[in-house]
Amino acid sequence: MPRSKSYNTYSNLQRPEFRKRVDELLLKFERDFYEKSKGAEGMLDASRFDMDLYKRHNVETMIRIGLKRAVDPLVANYWATRDPQLCKEWGLYGAEEGRHDRMFAGDLHKVGMTDEEIYAIRPTFATELLNGYFYYTLATEGPLASMISGFYLEYIAGKTQPDWLDIMEQHVGAGNTKGARAHLALDEDDDHVDMVWNMIMRVIKDEADEERFVEHLTKINALFVSYFVEVYASTILGAGKDPSQLAQVAPASSVQTNLESRVSATA
C-alpha cells in the first residue's frame, strides 16, 4: 500500500526501450564509481567504517533535500500552464520528498549530533555546483535536469543504500539507521523510481529529447560522484583543513567523471 499521496499511478512503464538503455548506463556509472573513486569500495567494507564520513554523508543528504525543496516548487510551477497533471504529480512528489530530511536528522541525533551542529554545516562545493546546474537549466531550457536528478537519486539510492546501511549498522546499530531505512521503504512502497521516470517521460517526445536526458544524467552523475570525492577528501584525507585545496576537489572530479561517463554513454 502507498505510504504517501505521491505514488506511482501509471499502469505501464513509459518508453521501456529507452528505460532499458538508461538502466544499463546507470549500472555502468555505479560500477565505475566503485572501481575509480578513491575510498568508494570502503563503503562496502565494514572494517573501513568511519564515523566522521558517516555523519558528513548524512548531513549532506539533509542539505541536498533542503535545497531541492526550494527547486521542486519551481518545477511544478513551470508545468502549471503546460501540463497541469504533471504539475500536480510533481507538486505532490516534491512536497513528500521535501520532508525527508528529518528522517536523517533522527539518525544523526542518535550518534550525538544536535540540530544546531547539523544546520551549522555548509554544503559541499559539489552540492553548490549541482544546485547551480538546476537553476541554470531552469532559466535556460526548463526543469528537465532537476527532474532527472530526482530519478537518478531514487534509482541510485535503491541500488546502493541497502548495502551501505548493512555495513553502517554493524557500527552504529540498526536502531540508529531507522530514518534512512524508513526513507528507502517509503520510496519502494510508493514505487518512486518508476513514478518519477513516468513523470519525466511525459515530456520526452523524440530521440533528441532522449539524448538530452542522457546528457543531463551524465552530468548529474558526475556531480554526485564529485560530492563523494569531496566528502571523502575532507573527512578521511583531512583536506578539510585547507579550504583552498578542498575547493579544487569537486570541480576536478566532476569534469573527469563527466568525460569518462560520456564515453560510457556512447559505448
DSSP string, 125-191: HHHHHHHHHHHHHHHHT-SHHHHHHHHHHHHHHHHHHHHHHHHHHHHH-GGGSHHHHHHHHHHHHTT
pLDDT in tens, 179-203: 887 876 776 777 889 999 999 999 9
Angstrom CA distances, 261 to 54, 128, 220, stand at: 26, 21, 11
Q: Who has greater pLDDT, 99 or 81?
A: 81
**pLDDT score at 188:** 77
How far apart are the C-alpha atoms of 238 and 72, rounded to whole Å? Answer: 34
Query: What is this structure's pTM?
Result: 0.90
pLDDT given for residue 39 in this prediction: 85
User: What does the mean pLDDT of the chain come to?
Assistant: 90
Which residue did the predictor score with more confidence, 38 or 109?
109
Identify the pLDDT of residue 259.
80
- Would you say residue 1 has pLDDT above 60? no
Residues of the chain with pLDDT > 70: what percent?
Answer: 93
The pLDDT of residue 9 is 82
Reported confidence tier of residue 144, pLDDT bands at 50, 70, 90: very high
pLDDT, residue 222, reads 94
**Alpha-helical regions (H) of 80-143:** 84-97, 101-110, 115-119, 125-140
Given pLDDT bands bounded at 50, 70 and 90, which one contains residue 98?
Answer: very high
Summarize pLDDT for 39-74 with one digit per residue, the tens: 888 888 889 999 999 999 999 999 999 999 999 999
The predicted model gives 204-209 an average pLDDT of 97
Average pLDDT over residues 68-92: 97
Residue 244: per-residue pLDDT:
65
Burial 123-134 (b: 16+ CB within 10 A, else e): bbbbbebbbebb
Give the C-alpha separation, 187 to 26, whole Å.
Answer: 18
Q: How far from 40 is each of 18, 160, 223, 236, CA to CA, in Å?
A: 29, 11, 15, 12
- Residue 256 CB neighbour total at 10 angstroms: 15
Measure the CA–CA gap between 42 and 29, rounded to whole angstroms. Answer: 17
| Mean pLDDT, rounded, for 140-152 | 98
Identify the band that residue 131 occupies on the pLDDT scale cut at 50, 70 and 90.
Answer: very high
Question: Would you say residue 114 has pLDDT above 70?
Answer: yes
Number of helices followed by number of strands (H, E) in the chain:
12, 0
Give helix 51-79 / helix 125-140 axis angle, nearest 10°: 10
